[in-house]
A and B are shown apart, each in its own frame.
Chain A
């Protein structure tokens, strides 16, 4: 699933490790999310949305 994680992270000047720390996940997980090849669970998606103060739909776009 496509997402804007990389852009949102760059806007805040965070490294993948910074974002991983804030989400309490591994850097591998952030990397897999950013490639769009790993879709987060609903709880992690909500955590990401809250961290960036945006709705899930504005961060993740399903290509249906």
Chain B
């Protein structure tokens, strides 16, 4: 039942996997240098923001896949799943913010917002696809 990958899907994976490996490497390296060498000033800024760069690359890679996929149905399913991801992410972060205001919840690190988007988009995909069965 599972589909063979379209060429844009293969390109997506060929970009996504190195970006994620780079993320792990940069994150570990950045944390290690900050902890052990205690840099300050612009170097600290550069090291601290470094792990965000491969994550930003992943966001761009997702956008590239959406543009490059020539199969209109697959593109439509992905676009709808992304809209669900955006909706869930905005809903959760908005509600969380107000709960945090009342000291009911702690302040989460903002870098968790992108994984929240990815997870909700991923969960939406089979549901969106199921509507066309």
Contact = CB atoms under 8 A, between A and B. Distances in A.
A29 interface: yes
Given A40-B72, A41-B72, A28 B131 contact: no
Contact of B71 (A29, A31, A35, A37): A29
Contact of B74 (A29, A33, A37): A29
Interface residues of B, number: 12
A31 B11 CA distance: 24
Best-buried of B6, B132, B133 by chain A (most CB within 10 Å): B132
A26 B73 contact: yes
A7 interface: no
Nearest to A43: B72
B74 A44 contact: no
B72 A37 contact: no
Contacts of B74: 26, 28-29
B130 to A, nearest CB: 10
Interface string B108-133: 00000000000000000000010111
Contact of B72 (A27, A31, A35, A44): A44
A35 B72 CA distance: 16
B72 A25 contact: yes
Interface of B: 3, 6, 70-74, 76, 129, 131-133
Interface of A: 24-29, 31-33, 35, 37-38, 40-41, 44
